[in-house]
Structure 1
Amino acid sequence: MYIIYNLAPFPNNSNQKAKNGAFLFPPSTVLPPLPLPLPLPLASPIPLPSTTPPRLRVSPPHRRRLLRRPSTAAALSLPAAAASPLAPALFVLGDSTVDCGTNNFLGTLARADRAPYGRDFDTHRPTGRFSNGRIIVDYLALRLGLPFVPPYLGQSGKVEDMIYGVNYASAAAGILFASGSDLGMHVSLTQQIQQVTDTSEQLALSLGEEAAADLFRRSVFYVSIGSNDFIHYYLRNTSSVQSLYLPWEFNQLLVNTVKQELKNLYNTNVRKFIVMGLAPIGCTPHYLWQYGSINGECINEINNLVVEFNYAMRYMVQQLSSELPDAMVTFCDAFKGSMDILKNRDRYGFQTTTDACCGLGKYGGLIMCLVPEMACSNASNHVWWDEFHPTDAVNRIIADNVWSGEHATMCYPMNLQEMTKPKL
């Protein structure tokens, strides 16, 4: 059995041929099923069109006064840790799919600290989550018996504030430092890993080196990033990146970078990884509007890039598992889980799979969600909350799949429940 990906050129790309005369996208590309010896070199022969990311110029938590603590009533409404959680902590790295408030403290257009974001959250107020309610890692925290993970930039620096985990994710962040820069400040993946190192050192000072290392080894690290490398970089042809990298070369560059960053996390004693693939970006309301989808059909030219990226990521995770035998590394295919929802909306209880609950223009994809008046009355009927992000209802379904594969098998070689199953 073979997987066939029909890759068509981008409609807005007039230069369809590479320098050697070959088309950027052949009429069809046949990829054999996993495993296969997919070549993923350690470094691309073409230099990165961006500079080395600087260390984030935000003071560490114990030296900042940016903290905006929730009211007592709001704090009491949030879940607390269980008596015996399945993992001591949950640490989160990524972009707006899992940002829970990091960008509230940054100068950026990529912020969700205003209504109607958060209107269906536990506190019924905006928190910085790009959703009407909870995000995937909120549901996973509850499954693990942990409280919701707080943002790194919203912490006081005390160990008790991070003992159950920290969320480093930053909206607009990409695998590459340059991705998402058009929106303003963000914390790149490399900078997030610097923050993980800072957390490790801080825990070591308070708990002792061995106790801190043991905490990291038993905790779950959830990584969800990569969409902005396409949305805000490759698809916009920023810095003429499409002339430097063919689509498959760009995907290789991204995957190789993620692999090295996961190794960097491993070197800080991380042993349990959940690595998320990308959702179907070509089905988001923004691209349905931009590419002029007639009846809500997804944009295959974009989704083919995502499928190839996820395919390479899954193979990379297999490689990494063999290279780091004492680590547990799982890849979860968000594309597969999301497409199951889009193709079976009645089974999942959704009325619309194309229109954003909050937005303007056809499909609600013209502009981001700005004011409450732009939002629909019942987000639970919608797959999409805004032009790029799913609703709380979808986040819950995907979280169920990451946890146990309840609705669709997404995670390989194991789901989170299997990863954290107590040893007898």
Structure 2
Amino acid sequence: MVTNIIVAILFLISTFLSHSKALRFPQELFNFSSNQISIVDNPSRPPSSSASPTPLLSPASPAVSSPLVPALFIIGDSTVDCGNNNFLGTFARADRPPYGRDFDTHQPTGRFCNGRIPVDYLALHLGLPFVPSYLGQDGELEDMLHGVNYASASAGVIFSSGSELGQHISFTHQIQQFTDTYQQFVLSLGEDVANDLISSSVLYISIGINDYIHYYLRNVSNVQNLYLPWGFNQFLASTMRQEIKNLYNINVRRLVIMGLPPIGCAPYYLWRYKSNKGECIEEINDMIMEFNFVMRYMTEELLHELPDAHIIFCDVFQGSMDIIQNHKRYDFKVTADACCGLGRYKGWIMCMSPEMACRDASNHIWWDQFHPTDAVNAILADNVWSSRHTEMCYPMNLEKMVVSKPE
């Protein structure tokens, strides 16, 4: 055991040092536009027609030739990063085995999962191919017409959240990248066509958890003495509210806002707080539930404030707790331990080598310290799409949003 830990730590240090040159430059000095950043590698784009690694994906997905929306754009963190962090100097990378072992290509792509992430399943439901990462494509118009994924692992609503792990693309930077893409559409397609494409497409936002993991719970800058959880939640929500209004101003009309998952049940916090029998850490989950409540209320306000906007809020906490509490119904046998990691609940050391992973991830809820398995992602995506297992999106699910006629 000690030998494995030493090897794991040495591997982590060597990975970080190999990117130390990039880390010498502050993030704000980087222009992340695809035509101004050096792309050192271009991961192969996974085919959308590959067989699903889990039976939970609805078998009937729309054909790519007749998508329900023109494109799917994604802003977020490691829950939806499909490879942007592969190009950054950071600890937060999923570009090595066993990540991706159950993915369509059986190769690591930068997804923090053993297989697909929720937006992969949603793309198929929408009749679209898997969405490419912003830094993983060369900026050609045809590569972006069906959508772009700007998500970056360790990013948060607060600019500095997760910065101790190295480089990441912050929430504000991701929105700027999306704005750059919109402007490229205007220049190439004309303003009317570009506006129609953006307003008819879906923008999916999944961010905020790192503001707790890497900022509030770590008490960075003594934040817990400055803000009680309710005040911190209000601060995050108000920041997101303004950014959503900024997106609306460039013709975004269909938004999916994802709430936060129950990280008080994540293996890392079960280990850190010395959970006795895998019980979730209530004080953490209470903060998350409160944040989701604030975000749902904010969504309702925005629906009244922004004409012709279609915004849905999906309570990931609610959907995830349904899985945890009814795990037998979903055929999950392991609810507390991660599939990959070291230490109690496999929550002490992050997943870094195939030897650290369990043989079958499909019966686990958690893949690593913080991220769910492909099987859980499939269930949550089905809930976002059609409320298939439990209702967690308000005021409607994504399927009803995209098939409803514009007002």
For normalisation by structure 2, the TM-score amounts to 0.88
Pairs within 5 Å for 1:370-409: 370-409=352-391
> In 2, Cα distance between the equivalents of 1:81 and 1:70?
24
Aligned twin of 2:108: 126
Provide, for residues 365-399 of structure 1, a one-character-per-residue CA deviation record: whole Å limited to 9, x for no partner. Answer: 00110000000000001000000000000000000
> In 2, Cα distance between the equivalents of 1:333 and 1:277?
5
1:332 to 307, 311, 314: 314
> In 2, Cα distance between the equivalents of 1:215 and 1:55?
30
1:183 to 157, 165, 169: 165
Provide, for residues 345-372 of structure 1, a one-character-per-residue CA deviation record: whole Å limited to 9, x for no partner. Answer: 1100100110000010000000110000
Q: Secondary structure at the match of 1:353?
A: strand
In structure 2, relative to structure 1, the CA distance for the partners of 1:166 and 1:56 (3 Å cut) is: farther
Q: Secondary structure at the match of 2:355?
A: helix
> In 2, Cα distance between the equivalents of 1:343 and 1:78?
31
Q: Secondary structure at the match of 1:61?
A: coil
Q: Does the aligned pair in 2 maintain the 1:219–1:272 contact within 8 Å?
A: yes
Q: Does 1:254 align with 2:236?
A: yes
Aligned twin of 2:344: 362
- Could you tell me how far 1:148 is from its partner in structure 2? 0.3
Provide, for residues 322-348 of structure 1, a one-character-per-residue CA deviation record: whole Å limited to 9, x for no partner. Answer: 000210010000000000000001100
Aligned twin of 1:300: 282
Q: Paired residues, what number?
A: 371
Aligned twin of 1:319: 301
In structure 2, relative to structure 1, the CA distance for the partners of 1:403 and 1:95 (3 Å cut) is: same
Q: Secondary structure at the match of 1:161?
A: helix
> In 2, Cα distance between the equivalents of 1:379 and 1:264?
40
For normalisation by structure 1, the TM-score amounts to 0.85
- Could you tell me how far 1:247 is from its partner in structure 2? 1.1
Which stretches in structure 1 are left out of the alignment for 5+ residues?
1-52
2:35 to 62, 72, 77: 62
Pairs within 5 Å for 1:2-401: 55=28, 57-66=30-39, 68-70=41-43, 82-401=64-383
Paired residue type of 2:309: A
Q: Secondary structure at the match of 2:113?
A: coil
Provide, for residues 142-190 of structure 1, a one-character-per-residue CA deviation record: whole Å limited to 9, x for no partner. Answer: 0000000001011111100100000000000001111111111111100
- Could you tell me how far 1:56 is from its partner in structure 2? 6.1
Q: Secondary structure at the match of 1:331?
A: strand
Q: Does the aligned pair in 1 maintain the 2:47–2:129 contact within 8 Å?
A: no
Q: Does 1:415 align with 2:397?
A: yes
Paired residue type of 1:276: M
- Could you tell me how far 1:103 is from its partner in structure 2? 0.3
Q: Secondary structure at the match of 1:345?
A: coil
- Could you tell me how far 1:62 is from its partner in structure 2? 2.5
Provide, for residues 67-110 of structure 1, a one-character-per-residue CA deviation record: whole Å limited to 9, x for no partner. Answer: 523459x6596699611101100000000000000100001100
Paired residue type of 2:234: Q
Q: Secondary structure at the match of 1:420?
A: helix
Q: Does the aligned pair in 2 maintain the 1:90–1:220 contact within 8 Å?
A: yes
> In 2, Cα distance between the equivalents of 1:122 and 1:350?
22
Query: Counting helix residues as a fraction of each chain, which structure ranks higher?
Result: 2
Provide, for residues 103-136 of structure 1, a one-character-per-residue CA deviation record: whole Å limited to 9, x for no partner. Answer: 0000110000000000000000000000000000
- Could you tell me how far 1:210 is from its partner in structure 2? 1.0
> In 2, Cα distance between the equivalents of 1:67 and 1:149?
20
